[in-house]
Amino acid sequence: MSLDNATRDKLKTVSTATIATALFKRGFRNQMIQGAGPLRPGKPTMVGEAFTLRYMPAREDRNPVSVFLNRAHPQRKAIEECPPGAVFVVDSRKDPRAASAGSILVTRLQARGVAGIVTDGGFRDAAEIAALDMPSFHVRPSAPTNLTVHEAIDINVPIGCGDAPVFPGDVIVGDDDGCIVIPAHLAKEIADEAVEMTAFEDFVTEKVKEGWSILGLYPATEEKTKVEFAAWRKAKNR
Amino acid sequence: MSLDNATRDKLKTVSTATIATALFKRGFRNQMIQGAGPLRPGKPTMVGEAFTLRYMPAREDRNPVSVFLNRAHPQRKAIEECPPGAVFVVDSRKDPRAASAGSILVTRLQARGVAGIVTDGGFRDAAEIAALDMPSFHVRPSAPTNLTVHEAIDINVPIGCGDAPVFPGDVIVGDDDGCIVIPAHLAKEIADEAVEMTAFEDFVTEKVKEGWSILGLYPATEEKTKVEFAAWRKAKNR
Amino acid sequence: MSLDNATRDKLKTVSTATIATALFKRGFRNQMIQGAGPLRPGKPTMVGEAFTLRYMPAREDRNPVSVFLNRAHPQRKAIEECPPGAVFVVDSRKDPRAASAGSILVTRLQARGVAGIVTDGGFRDAAEIAALDMPSFHVRPSAPTNLTVHEAIDINVPIGCGDAPVFPGDVIVGDDDGCIVIPAHLAKEIADEAVEMTAFEDFVTEKVKEGWSILGLYPATEEKTKVEFAAWRKAKNR
Amino acid sequence: MSLDNATRDKLKTVSTATIATALFKRGFRNQMIQGAGPLRPGKPTMVGEAFTLRYMPAREDRNPVSVFLNRAHPQRKAIEECPPGAVFVVDSRKDPRAASAGSILVTRLQARGVAGIVTDGGFRDAAEIAALDMPSFHVRPSAPTNLTVHEAIDINVPIGCGDAPVFPGDVIVGDDDGCIVIPAHLAKEIADEAVEMTAFEDFVTEKVKEGWSILGLYPATEEKTKVEFAAWRKAKNR
Amino acid sequence: MSLDNATRDKLKTVSTATIATALFKRGFRNQMIQGAGPLRPGKPTMVGEAFTLRYMPAREDRNPVSVFLNRAHPQRKAIEECPPGAVFVVDSRKDPRAASAGSILVTRLQARGVAGIVTDGGFRDAAEIAALDMPSFHVRPSAPTNLTVHEAIDINVPIGCGDAPVFPGDVIVGDDDGCIVIPAHLAKEIADEAVEMTAFEDFVTEKVKEGWSILGLYPATEEKTKVEFAAWRKAKNR
Amino acid sequence: MSLDNATRDKLKTVSTATIATALFKRGFRNQMIQGAGPLRPGKPTMVGEAFTLRYMPAREDRNPVSVFLNRAHPQRKAIEECPPGAVFVVDSRKDPRAASAGSILVTRLQARGVAGIVTDGGFRDAAEIAALDMPSFHVRPSAPTNLTVHEAIDINVPIGCGDAPVFPGDVIVGDDDGCIVIPAHLAKEIADEAVEMTAFEDFVTEKVKEGWSILGLYPATEEKTKVEFAAWRKAKNR
């Protein structure tokens, strides 16, 4: 399991921006799920291992509404199988013309203890989903049933989402800037580094508000910055 | 007239998502006005018959600001002719680079009792329009005068709006997910079916919040679901 | 200097929509920065002379994180050199896949008295930037560091931003509809005309709310309109 | 009638590029049909008055294949009514996912003496259409029947085509660069000016091939250029 | 097996446009692979059962050039496993920024007797691939190695290609208009109907060239048309 | 000078695809000028150092046709200053709605011994430019004068072209797949490596045509491949 509790807790305290820089330092440039934002900004940071659903284009004869009479339909099965604590990630091929899911399914995910949901398409009943405690991310609201353009075809396989590669078990972090994908084997070290970086960024923000120039401060190319940061950490116990 | 008061009242209680599914069952897959969202979410559901305005690309010599000195200019004429209770639907060719209208005209529509307005372009003075009671839908704010890229050319003809076909008299319903077009001859039966579907969806949502699995519940493939729903309807008087 | 205090004060009281029309009358059709909206709507109108930063596509070998150890790096240098009262305008080639800047740099701009910032890309730490008093405009949030796709290459040269031409010293005005670029030599006359237009538009809005038709009122083709407007101005002292 | 034979003949000898500049001098910036190119380059220049067909998005219940049993169906009617010598211009809302027309209809247009056809969508049977003598212009080949996404709704009304305004009777000129729309009332003067400009451009091209610099030559800011051009015209009898 | 030799032979004689109409009559509106055209027009019609390769976005650490040292790499494995007579269909997520394949791999497919290849991305070495006898279809040439943005992840699973659903074993037909996907179970009946339709279309084309109006001819609403067509078929032995 | 004659000659014998892989091995993923193809395929490979022109969006008052009366206008100046043997690279902000240049200017470049031209916009008089010996690359033909949407603002500065970073002096190579940018300091080593790779690819292509599997051959993981390639090189004197 890639995501121990300590790592999860650390990731909840850092931003996707900071994680993006930590990944960039290791050569990762495409881990951001492009174009998907929060249905309601300001929720706690979403953290969880990816559990994926892959949609393909819908063919009319295979996708009448009666397909959902089948309990083994991949969309409904995925909703019931996504582990508590995981993030449900949907590959909608960046097509928001029909819904990736609606409020009933997303409410069920929340009831099951899922950490959050992200699609590179759109959700229907977007206002209801936004009102849930569970964080959710999409491109834009979209009322038509998924059957209009999507057929759920695969559960928990590697997918693309918003041009980012997502493997089952990768760690997804989501905040008001959107969602980022941390390769599973790097979750712990990225979390550790991001916590360190966040301490420094918080210090820098404080100093900038006090009127310091960013030159010499960010990055800390002046000795004075290093000294003050050390003192700040001690004082703040970080 | 396609929209009697009972139908209008019913449609005000259902969502565009539910309507989309009811239309999908009848073979309609492209009735959603794609890409246009509410200027201010959370307003009451907009319902009304479509009254349309068609824009074409503006030619410079035909579109100086002085055109509005002509009281018969189609844009201004349409604003004054749109019937109370109707929805003003603008074909802006999905081009939000210039405004489809501004707050003065939209305020006039509200004053005249119009039910709402939707464009597949953008509005200027978007904050003022958002603050009106009347619902409004667009792609994004856009300050330039419509004359910059649009010329109003036809009033109340069949148009495209956000890739959806809109015929005068079709019934437009708009909520936080966007706007959907109900063919005029189907308004009553869609309203009736959507009210029924909504009752069931409300029941399902309640049960999901109580912890039920969606399997067997949504759709109601288990006998238990049917029995409980019947009891619920009776209890709720729906 | 193109922007005297009187002009600045006038521009703070008018809308980008009104300015767009005043520019349109003079033959300017492309001065709106297309696609960039406010991170937080409802802030006071942003007014200032453009100070520009040009990004080009990032080449991997030139853009490790260590570049910021160089105090003369154009991005950081620009942040420290942008004059108080100016608007920082970033040419991100309409590419929001990586950040144009983050909250630390934007906070520094505010601390330095800069009037606001606009990019045709996206900002990281968007929630923090939105929470600042200083107005800010972008396409959408974007967590990845700018180095991922952008290299800052030129300071205060003529640029494109959202398909609009921006010359250093042009006057940028931003409100909830977005940002518009007033050519420097026209700032004063546009401000004067826009103030006049705004008075009339406010009068018209009042009358429309009272139930007047727009025909004869907007534009003022009826004598009655002119008479009442004159009275209104006198009464309102405008 | 906007297009007399002399004007038509002149326009056949000039390029869309030259016409575009002549229109630009008169303040017209959007007369090019953007994105539509020739199915087969190298055909003679297409010239004719616009006869238009407007498509709207197709609604499934209105567009089974049986609609063509109706002889008055606007698509078929338009094909039979387009005057000989005219250019058939189709507003396909820039959507090439389904055909604007196929080889049988386009062959019929040729048989009827029509000057050419242009759509901002695509044609099916593109190879057969390309092989006809009559020039044709589209975005890309598209096999699906027009009924899939288009419904022909209006004949010979003002339309947009590739973001250009097209009024019935405007003069359409098409060559390997694409198609341009000359407002009807300007056809004669644009033709005259373009013929003059073409003479000069041909002279310039000859001189450039001989090794002249463009400075002083293009435009003719040096006296020597004017003198040589005068001699050239006399010698060439142009 | 969905594709017997008789069906294959029939499909080689009909166009994707005709097949599209036959599919449309049965309710299929999205079977065209949108945006992919032939690298070299004029080749014989491509027919074969789909053998698919799915790409996902590439993650840098998983996609160095050394991956091809692994003989089991899905891209190379797929090339060697695609059955003779099949069409190799690549889901490149409509992203032509890097190659879906190059001339060596495509030449190998031809050597192995594969019927053709189609991607919704691009090919490198496009000129060499165009020069092969085997038909090939893409969006545009693209020199960068697939590893730049694609990772081959699945062989012969259901995919999307150019927004069309493709299941292994579906029949792909490609001509100058592009590629269409016939659901496997319909291949025979579509082939039969398309052959009939083609006979009539050839007759109609002949008559249109002779000067007949399309009214009454296409579709055959006049008795005369039916009589002449019957005679034509007999004479032509079709 | 980055480009000695030996390097230039080597680069003329290799493909952009091979160069892209050599660059990819060194960590360069964005050096392809995306979206620009040859006006006429089949010309010799274009090689030369980049000489750049930067366009910004045109402002109407600054861009009447009379600007070209000024001999120092950057567009005309650049044409006359571009060194023989260089490649003229135009940053048109990926906007082909107006021409980046026309046949007269491009003919002048050829007369001056320039190696070729590439824009991420379009050319007017595309047929004439295609007919020149000098290679040329663009997105699509575009008849309107550059003044319509472009103002030439900078000569020989770092630019973006088709999302690729281009620095003056970088080496541009163009063939039927498009154009790639080799950082100046790497030109020699990339040329050397690409020549080696090309020898191997030619060998592989020969073997594939003879019926070899790609497994073990490409890459050369089998001893047999290495032995045969060594023999082949000796025999071919490569």
Cα separation, B76 vs E57, whole angstroms: 50
Q: Kindly tell me if the per-residue pLDDT of C2 is higher than 70.
A: no
What pTM does this model have? Answer: 0.98
| Chains with at least 3 CB pairs less than 8 angstroms from chain D | B, E, F
Which pLDDT tens digit goes with each residue over C182-227? 999 999 999 999 999 999 999 999 999 999 999 999 999 999 999 9
Which pLDDT tens digit goes with each residue over D165-200? 999 999 999 999 999 999 999 999 999 999 999 999
Q: Do C178 and B143 touch (CB under 8 A)?
A: yes
Cα separation, B150 vs B152, whole angstroms: 6
Across chain D, what does the average pLDDT equal?
97
Residue to substitute from A60, A95, A167, interface E, most E β-carbons within 10 A? A60
CA B127 to chain centre: 19
> Number of C-alpha atoms within 13 angstroms, CB side, residue D2?
23
- Cβ neighbour number for residue D35 with a 10 Å cutoff: 21
Residue to substitute from E94, E125, E140, interface F, most F β-carbons within 10 A? E125
Query: What are the phi and psi torsion angles at A219 (to 5°)?
Result: -75, 170
Expressed in angstroms, the distance from the first to the final Cα of chain B is: 28
Which region, left, alpha or beta, applies to residue D155 given φ > 0 means left and ψ of -120 to 50 means alpha? beta
Which pLDDT tens digit goes with each residue over C132-155? 999 999 999 999 999 999 999 999
State the pLDDT confidence band at D2, using cuts at 50, 70 and 90. low
Identify the closest residue of chain E to F204 by CA–CA distance: E104
Give the burial string for B57-75 (b: 16+ CB within 10 Å, else e): bbbbeebeeebbeeeeebb
Q: Do B158 and D56 touch (CB under 8 A)?
A: yes
Using CB atoms, pick whichever of D28, D60, D158 lies closest to residue B29.
D60
Looking at the complex, report in whole angstroms how far the Cα of residue D110 sits from the nearest Cα belonging to chain E: 9
Per-residue pLDDT averaged across F162-186, rounded?
98
Q: Do C124 and A208 touch (CB under 8 A)?
A: no
Cα separation, A4 vs A189, whole angstroms: 12
Cα separation, C129 vs C107, whole angstroms: 7
- Contact with chain F for residue E69, Cβ under 8 A: yes
- Within 8 A of C59 by CB-CB distance, chain F residues are 28, 30-31, 165, 183
Are E173 and E182 spatial neighbours (Cβ–Cβ below 8 Å)? yes
Q: Which residues contact F74 (CB under 8 A, 6 or more apart)?
A: F53, F152, F153, F154, F155
Taking each continuous run of H as one helix and of E as one strand, the counts in chain E are 7, 13
Beta-carbon contacts below 8 Å between A and C: 83
Q: Do D25 and F65 touch (CB under 8 A)?
A: yes
> Number of C-alpha atoms within 13 angstroms, CB side, residue F11?
30
Are E217 and E225 spatial neighbours (Cβ–Cβ below 8 Å)? yes
Cα separation, D1 vs D188, whole angstroms: 11
- Within 8 A of C158 by CB-CB distance, chain F residues are 56, 153
Q: Do E37 and D145 touch (CB under 8 A)?
A: no
Q: Kindly tell me if the per-residue pLDDT of E55 is higher than 70.
A: yes
Q: Do C32 and B68 touch (CB under 8 A)?
A: no
What does the pLDDT read at residue F2? 67
Cα separation, D206 vs D203, whole angstroms: 5
Give the burial string for B133-169 (b: 16+ CB within 10 Å, else e): ebbbbbbbbbbbbbbbbbbbbbbbbbbbbbbbbbbbb
User: What percentage of chain A reaches a pLDDT higher than 70?
Assistant: 99
Q: Kindly tell me if the per-residue pLDDT of D1 is higher than 60.
A: no
Beta-carbon contacts below 8 Å between D and E: 84
State the pLDDT confidence band at B86, using cuts at 50, 70 and 90. very high
Cα separation, B55 vs B16, whole angstroms: 26
User: What percentage of chain E reaches a pLDDT higher than 90?
Assistant: 99
Using CB atoms, pick whichever of D111, D141, D147 lies closest to residue E24.
D147
Looking at the complex, report in whole angstroms how far the Cα of residue C62 sits from the nearest Cα belonging to chain B: 36
- Within 8 A of F102 by CB-CB distance, chain D residues are 17
Are B92 and B56 spatial neighbours (Cβ–Cβ below 8 Å)? no
- SS3 of C23, please? helix
- Contact with chain A for residue E168, Cβ under 8 A: no
Per-residue pLDDT averaged across E119-125, rounded?
98
Query: What are the phi and psi torsion angles at E178 (to 5°)?
Result: 125, -155
Residue to substitute from F80, F100, F145, interface D, most D β-carbons within 10 A? F145
In the 8-state DSSP scheme, what is residue B155?
Answer: E
- SS3 of F157, please? coil
Using CB atoms, pick whichever of D104, D125, D140 lies closest to residue E214.
D104
CA-based nearest residue to A172, from A99, A90, A95, A230: A90
Q: List the structure tokens of C149.
A: 């796709």
Across chain C, what does the average pLDDT equal?
97
Q: Do E214 and D126 touch (CB under 8 A)?
A: no
Q: Kindly tell me if the per-residue pLDDT of F25 is higher than 80.
A: yes
- Cβ neighbour number for residue C222 with a 10 Å cutoff: 14
CA-based nearest residue to B124, from B135, B138, B113: B138
Per-residue pLDDT averaged across E203-219, rounded?
97
Cα separation, D163 vs A191, whole angstroms: 50
Identify the closest residue of chain D to F72 by CA–CA distance: D215
Q: Do A28 and E59 touch (CB under 8 A)?
A: yes
Which pLDDT tens digit goes with each residue over A97-149? 999 999 999 999 999 999 999 999 999 999 999 999 999 999 999 999 999 99
Q: Which amino acid is at C5?
A: N
Q: Kindly tell me if the per-residue pLDDT of C1 is higher than 70.
A: no
CA D105 to chain centre: 18
Q: Kindly tell me if the per-residue pLDDT of A1 is higher than 70.
A: no
What does the pLDDT read at residue E9? 98
Q: Kindly tell me if the per-residue pLDDT of D100 is higher than 60.
A: yes
- Within 8 A of D102 by CB-CB distance, chain E residues are 17
What does the pLDDT read at residue B2? 67
Q: Do D205 and F103 touch (CB under 8 A)?
A: yes
- Within 8 A of E31 by CB-CB distance, chain A residues are 59
State the pLDDT confidence band at D12, using cuts at 50, 70 and 90. very high
Q: Kindly tell me if the per-residue pLDDT of F1 is higher than 80.
A: no
- Contact with chain F for residue E75, Cβ under 8 A: no
What does the pLDDT read at residue A56? 98
In chain E, the largest separation of any two C-alpha atoms, in whole Å, equals: 70
Cis-peptide into C165, omega within 30 deg:
no
Which pLDDT tens digit goes with each residue over E141-172? 999 999 999 999 999 999 999 999 999 999 99
Q: Which residues contact C97 (CB under 8 A, 6 or more apart)?
A: A32, A34, C142, C144, C148, C149
**Tokens 């002889």, residue located:** D71
Across chain E, what does the average pLDDT equal?
97
Rg (CA), chain A: 20
Which region, left, alpha or beta, applies to residue B94 given φ > 0 means left and ψ of -120 to 50 means alpha? left
- Contact with chain C for residue F56, Cβ under 8 A: yes
What does the pLDDT read at residue C191? 98
In chain A, the largest separation of any two C-alpha atoms, in whole Å, equals: 70
Looking at the complex, report in whole angstroms how far the Cα of residue F22 sits from the nearest Cα belonging to chain D: 34
Are F102 and F125 spatial neighbours (Cβ–Cβ below 8 Å)? yes
DSSP string, D156-177: S--EEETTEEE-TTPEEEEETT
